[in-house]
Chain A
Amino acid sequence: MGSREHKIVCFMCNWTFCQSETHVPSNVNVVRVMCLGRIDPVIVLETFEKGADAVMMVGCKPPDCHFIEGNVQAERAVKMLKKLVALAGLEPERIKLLLVSPLEDKSFNHYTKQFSSEIAKFGSSPFKIGKLKPEFIVNVLAAKNAASDFRLRVLLGREKELTESVNVYGEKMPKEEFDVLLDEIVKEEFIRHKFHLLTKTKPLSVKDLAKTVEMKPADVLRQIVDMRRRNMIALDHVEGTTPFYKALEVK
C-alpha cells in the first residue's frame, strides 16, 4: 500500500475498544487516554508540528460515553481544530474523528486501513519533507498558540453553557450563531497570533503586516488595537509618521 509510510497518531478512548479488538498496524501509534475529551487541541497541533501525517481520534458514539459527554467535548475540539488546521495550510481531512459504539462488533484494523487510504492522496506531512517555507512554520505555530490561548479555550469550554442553557438575560444562543461566532473568533485569534509571531523577530508596521498577510491595512490596525489592549504587542518606535510594533512576551 502506498500509504505505508504515513504515520498516523491515534488518540483512543480507553473504553471504546476492548484490548482484544485492537490490532494495531505498524504505521499507527496508539495513545490510550481515559476519555477523548482529554485531548487538548494544542496537543493535536503539536503532533502535526512534530511530524505526524495524520491524527485519528477514536471515541465512543453518543450516547455511550463513560464520562457522559466527553465525546461531545471531543467533537467540539475537532470542529475548531479543523478550522485552525485549514487556516494553517494543512488539509483538515488529516484529522479524523471516529466515534464508534463500544457495544458493536468492530475491527480497529478496518478503520485504520480506511483512514490510511483516505489520506494517501495528501502525501506526507510538509513537516517531514524538510525544506519548509518559513511562512508555513509561522502559520502552524500561530494555530498552536491560538489554540493554547485563553479566548478559544474559554469559548470551547463554554459552548455547552452558551448554546444549551440561557444566560442571565434569559437569552439562548442558537447553534448556528455559535458556529458563526466560533468561525470569526478562530480567524481573529489565528491572525493575531500570526502578527504576534511576525513582530517577535523585528518590529513591523501595519503596512508591512498587511502586505505579508494580504489584508487591508484597516483590518490589520483593528487587530493591532485589540492586541495592544491585551498586552500582546507594544509600540516599539516611530519612523517618520509610521509606528512600528513589537511583540511582547505573553506570560
Chain B
Amino acid sequence: MANINHTNVKKFPPCRTACPAHVNVQGYVSLLQRGKFKEAVELIRKDMPFPAICGRVCFSPCEDACARTNVDQAVAIRALKRLVADIEREQGRVTPKSIPKKHSEKVAIIGAGPAGLTAAYELAKLGYPVTVFERMSENGGMMRYCIPDFRLEKFVVANEIAYIKDLGVEIKTGVEFGKDITLESLRNEGYKAIFIAIGAQQGMKLNVLGEDLEGSINAVDFLRAVALGEHINVGEKVAVVGGGNSAIDAARTAKRLGAKQVMILYRRSREEMPALPHEIAEAERDGIEFYFLVAPKQIIGENGKVKAIECLHMRLGEPDASGRRRPIPISFSEHQYKVDTVIPALGQIAEMSCLPEEFLDKEARMPSMQVDPVTLETKMPGVFAGGDIATGPASIIEAVGAGKRAAVSINLYLIGRDLREGREGNIEETTWVKNWGHIRKKERRYDSPLEKPRLSFEEAKEYLKNIEQKAMFEAFRCLGCGPCAECLGNLELCEADKAVVDEGLCTGCNVCAVVCPFGAIKKNEKEVAQVNEDLCKGCGICAARCPEQAITMKKLPNEQMMSLALATAKE
C-alpha cells in the first residue's frame, strides 16, 4: 500500500503539489542525479503507470511550479521523465512482481483510458481483481487514438499498458458500455464496485451551415481515423478551426498527410490559445499558418464537397466565465479562404447516451456526470466516475489523478470505511526557499539538451545515445527545494540522514538554528534545539557547528566519518 495511505497533512515540494497525480518529482530527479535510471522509473511507477506517455505529452504543471524558475529556468522535468522511461524500455522493461489477490471483491472499470487504467493499476497493486472494459479494439483511449504518432507512438502506449496487464489486470476490448454491458449486468456478474471512466470522445460541432459536406471532418474523428490507419485524402489546403492541443495535432497531422497549406483559424488571439506553447512553436516550425481573431460563419460547398470556408473577423471584449476575453464578431467582415478540408477542433464532449438519466449534470456548461469532486462517488452506491466524463475534456495527468482518487475511494468503499477518511486532499506545499529577493535572476547557462524537435512520424532515437551524462547535469539543477524527497532510500548517503539533538548536552545557544539553511531547527519550550524532520535535509552543517557537539547525524556521525577518512590514511 505504498502510496495510498491514510496520514494527515503531507508536505510536498511545489512540483509534486502542482502535479494532479502528485508524482514524486523531486525523488526521481534526485535519483537521476546519481545516475540511477532504473530506480527513477520505479519511483515514478509508485505514483502513476505512465512515465513514458507523460514524459512525452504531459503539460507539465510541475515545471511551471518549479522553484528553479526563480534562479533561471525550470528543470526539464518532463524530458527527464521521458528519458528514464525510454532508457528502461530500450534496455528491457522490468516485469512487475505479481501481487497476491488479498481481496475477493471484483471491480469493473469502464474505459481503458488514462483514468480507467490508473484506477485499475492502483487497485491491482492493492490486491483487487480488476477487469477493464474497452469499447475500441485497442487500449489506451485518447492516448492511443487521438494523440498522433509524432507526439506519442503506439508502441509506447502499448508498452505502458503491458506493464499494467503484467500486474494482473484483465482488459476486455470490444465491449461497449450501454450495449454489451450495463450497470445492471455488471452487478449481476458479481462486480462489487464500478468505475466509469469513458472520457469525452465526441468532437463538438461547429454549428454552421455546410458542416455535413464531404471534406468536413471533426478533429477527434480525423485523428482517430488516422490512428486506425484509414486512408484520408485531405487535399491541398486544410483549415483547422480551434486553438487547443487537438487543433494543433490535427493541423500537424494534416501537414504530414500531404497538405500543402494548413491554417489554424482561432477566434481569439495567441495569448488566449489553450494549446501548449511548445506545441504551438513546433507547429510553426512545421509550417502551419495561424490566423487569429477569425471565426467561421459557414462552409461553402460545391457538388457536395467543401470548397471554401467563410469567416468573420472578431475583436476581443470583456473576459468571460473562463477568464479569457470574449470574442465579438465584427459585422460585414466576411471573407473566404479556399480550402479542401475543414477540421473543426472545438473540444470534446462525453457521449452520455449510454448512461442512466439520473447521473447527468444538467447545470454544467457542457454535459458531464455529477460526481463528488473529492471521492468521485455518484448517486448510486458502489458506482464511481471520473476523468473527462466528470470534469469535461482535460489532460492525461488530471485523468491519472482522478484514477488514483477513484482507487482510494473504491478501496475505502470495499473495506467499508468512510470515503472521506484520510484523503490525500491535505497537501501542503513546503519549500525551504522562502524568499528569493536576494537572488538575482540569471540567464540560463546552457540550453537543455534533452528536448529534441520531432518533425517526422519517425521519432529520433539517436538522442538516447550519450544522453545520460547530460541528463544527470540537468537533474542536478534541481534545488531539492522540498523536504526529504522520499526517494525511498535509493541514495546511499541521503537515506533518512537527519540531525539528532542530544538534549542533555544542548545549551540552547541557537547556533544551529542560525546555520541551518532550511530553518529546520528551532528551540522548543524547554530551551533545547528541536529538529523538524520534515524540513531537515541532512546536510549536517548544524552538526559541524554545534558548540557543545550536541548534534550528530543519524547516518553519518562524526566517528563514522573519521573511520572512513582513516581507512587508508593510516598505514
A residues engaging B (CB < 8 A)? Answer: 7, 9, 11, 14-15, 18-20, 29, 31-35, 37-43, 46-47, 50-52, 63, 66-70, 73, 77, 102-103, 128, 148-151, 153-154, 156-158, 160-161
Asked if B569 contacts A9 (CB within 8 A), the reply is: yes
Contact call B469/A70, Cβ cutoff below 8 A: no
Knowing A34-B556, A51-B570 are in contact, say whether A46-B544 is a contact too (CB < 8 A).
no
B545's partner among A34, A66, A73, A103 (CB-CB below 8 A) is A73
CB atoms of B473 and A38 under 8 A apart: no
The smallest beta-carbon distance between B511 and chain A, in angstroms, is: 4
A156 to B546, CA, bound (A): 10
Closest to B445 in A: A103
Q: In the complex, which residues of chain A have a beta carbon less than 8 angstroms from the beta carbon of B570?
A: 50-51
Are B469 and A18 neighbours in the complex by a CB distance under 8 Å? yes
- Cβ of A34: which chain B residues have Cβ within 8 Å of it? 493-494, 497, 537-540, 556
Q: Out of A42, A51, A66, A161, which one reaches B480, CB within 8 Å? A: A66
Docked-complex contact B517 and A68, CB < 8 angstroms = yes
Residues of A within 8 A of B538 (CB): 34
- Please tell me if the beta carbons of B541 and A14 are within 8 angstroms of each other in the complex: no
Which residues of B in the span 495-554 have a Cβ within 8 Å of any Cβ on A?
497, 509, 511-512, 514-515, 517-518, 537-541, 543-549, 553
> What is the CB-to-nearest-CB distance from B529 to chain A, in angstroms, rounded to a whole number?
12
Smallest CB separation, B480 vs chain A (Å): 6
Known contacts A7-B568, A14-B493, A103-B445: A46-B511 contact under CB 8 Å: no
Query: Is B34 positioned at the interface, with any CB of A under 8 Å from its CB?
Result: yes
Let me know if B544 and A38 touch, CB within 8 A: yes
B565 at the interface (CB under 8 A from A): yes
5 contacts between A and B (CB under 8 A): A38-B541, A68-B432, A70-B539, A153-B546, A154-B509
The smallest C-beta distance from A44 to any residue of chain B, in angstroms, reads 9
**A41, B546: Cα distance in complex, Å:** 11
Q: Is B33 in contact with chain A by the CB < 8 A criterion?
A: yes
Mark interface residues in B415-458 (1 if CB within 8 Å of A CB, else 0).
00000000000000000100000010000011000000000000
Nearest residue (CB) in B for A7 is B569
Report the bound CA distance from A47 to B559 in whole Å: 11
- On chain B, the residues within 8 Å of A154 by CB distance are 509, 511, 547
B161 CB → nearest A CB, Å: 34
Q: Considering the chains assembled together, what is the distance between the CA atoms of A223 and B122 in angstroms?
A: 70
The answer for the CA separation of A29 and B294 in the assembled complex, in Å, is 69
Task: For chain B, residues 112 to 154, give those with C-beta under 8 angstroms from any C-beta of chain A.
Answer: none
Q: Say yes or no: B35 contacts A19, CB within 8 Å.
A: yes
The complex places the Cα of A175 from the Cα of B511 at a distance, in Å, of 19
Q: For chain A, what secondary structure do more than half of its interface residues adopt (helix, strand, loop), or is it mixed? A: mixed
- The docked-state distance in angstroms from the alpha carbon of A149 to that of B497 is 25
A-B contact sample (10 more), CB < 8 A, given A29-B568, A51-B571, A67-B541: A18-B33, A20-B469, A50-B570, A51-B570, A52-B569, A70-B541, A103-B446, A156-B545, A160-B514, A161-B514
Give the residues in chain B near A14, CB-CB below 8 Å: 493-494
Given contacts A20-B35, A47-B565, A157-B514, contact A37 B540 (CB under 8 A): yes
Total of A-B residue pairs, C-beta within 8 Å: 142
Q: Is B232 engaged at the interface, CB distance under 8 Å to the other chain?
A: no
Contact in complex: A69, B517 (CB < 8 Å):
yes
Of the residues B477, B547, B556, contact of A157 by C-beta under 8 Å: B547
Nearest Cβ on chain A to B134's Cβ, whole angstroms = 44
Which A residues are CB-close (under 8 A) to B517?
67-70
Smallest CB gap from A68: residue in B = B517
A67 touches B539 (CB 8 A): yes
Residues of B within 8 A of A (CB): 33-35, 432, 439, 445-446, 469, 472-473, 476-477, 479-480, 492-494, 497, 509, 511-512, 514-515, 517-518, 537-541, 543-549, 553, 556, 558, 561-562, 564-571
Contact partners of A41 in chain B: CB under 8 A: 544
Asked whether B556 lies within 8 Å of A33 as measured between CB atoms, the reply is: yes
Interface centre among A34, A103, A150, A153 (most CB of B within 10 A): A34
The one of B539, B546, B558, B567 in contact with A35, judged by C-beta atoms closer than 8 angstroms, is B539
Residue in chain B with minimal CB distance to A48 = B569
Give Cα distance in the complex from A20 to B35, angstroms. Answer: 9
Complex contacts, B493 vs chain A, CB 8 Å: 14, 32-34
**Which chain A residues border B547 with CB–CB below 8 Å?**
149-151, 153-154, 157
The answer to whether residues A43 and B511 also contact, given A33-B556, A35-B539, A70-B517 and a CB cut-off of 8 A, is no
**In the bound complex, how far is the Cα of B561 from the Cα of A70, in angstroms?**
18
* B-side contacts of A46, CB under 8 Å: 562
**Complex Cα gap A50–B469 (Å):** 37
Contacts of B479 in A (CB 8 A): 66
Report the minimum CB–CB distance from B187 to chain A (whole Å): 55
Residues of B within 8 A of A33 (CB): 493, 540, 556, 561
Given A15-B33, A50-B569, A150-B547, verify A38-B540 contact (CB < 8 Å): yes
Q: Decide: A73 near B556, CB < 8 A? Known: A29-B565, A66-B480.
A: no
**Does the CB pair A38–B553 fall under 8 Å?**
yes
Could you tell me if B569 and A35 are in contact, using CB atoms closer than 8 angstroms? no
Hey, which chain B residues are within 8 Å of A51, CB to CB?
A: 566, 569-571
Please, how many angstroms separate the alpha-carbon atoms of A158 and B517 in the complex? 13
Closest beta carbon of chain A to B32's beta carbon, Å = 11
B543 & A43 in contact (Cβ 8 Å cutoff): no
Beyond A31-B564, A52-B565, A66-B479, whether A40 also contacts B544 by CB under 8 A is yes
Which B residues are in CB contact (< 8 Å) with A11? 565
- Looking at B476, B518, B571, the one whose CB has the most chain A CB atoms below 10 A away is B476
User: A38-B544, A157-B514 are contacts. A29–B549 as well, Cβ < 8 Å?
Assistant: no
Q: Which of B511, B569, B570 has the most CB of A within 10 A?
A: B569
Please determine whether A67 and B537 come into contact, CB atoms closer than 8 angstroms: yes
User: Is A40 in contact with B565, judged by CB distance below 8 angstroms?
Assistant: no
Please report the C-alpha to C-alpha distance between residue A43 and residue B568 in the assembled complex, in whole angstroms: 16
Known A18-B469, A32-B493, A66-B479: A43·B540 in contact at CB below 8 Å:
no
What's the Cα separation between A148 and B565 when bound, in Å? 18
A50 to B546, CA, bound (A): 23
Q: Which residues of B contact A38 (CB under 8 A)?
A: 539-541, 543-544, 553, 556
Question: Measured between alpha carbons, how far is A15 from B539 in the docked complex, in Å?
Answer: 11
Evaluate contact between A47 and B562: CB separation under 8 angstroms: yes
Question: With the chains together, A65 CA to B439 CA distance in Å?
Answer: 13
Interchain CB contact under 8 A, A37 and B539:
yes
Contact residues in B for A158 (Cβ distance below 8 Å):
511, 514
- Measured between beta carbons, the chain A residues less than 8 angstroms from B477 are 103
For A63, list chain B residues within 8 Å (CB). Answer: 439
Question: Which residues does chain A contribute within 8 Å of B566, judged by CB atoms?
Answer: 9, 47, 50-52
B-chain residues with CB within 8 Å of residue A149 when the two chains form the complex: 547
Residue ID in chain A nearest B433 by CB atoms = A68
* Minimum Cβ distance to chain B for residue A112 (Å): 14
Which residues of B are found within 8 Å of A29, using beta-carbon distances? 564-565, 567-569
Complex interface: chain A residues within 8 A of B537 (CB)? 34, 67
Which chain A residue has the least Cβ–Cβ distance from B568?
Answer: A29
Residue of A nearest to B564 (CB): A31
Report how far A169 CA is from B115 CA in the complex, Å: 61
Across the two chains, which residue of chain A brings its CB closest to B517?
Answer: A68
A-side contacts of B567, CB under 8 Å:
29
**Is A31 a contact of B432 with CB atoms below 8 Å?**
no
Instruction: Tell me which of B494, B544, B549, B565 contacts A73 (CB under 8 A).
Output: B544
Residue picked from B472, B545, B547, B549, most chain A C-beta under 10 Å? B545
Q: Which residues of B contact A50 (CB under 8 A)?
A: 562, 565-566, 569-570
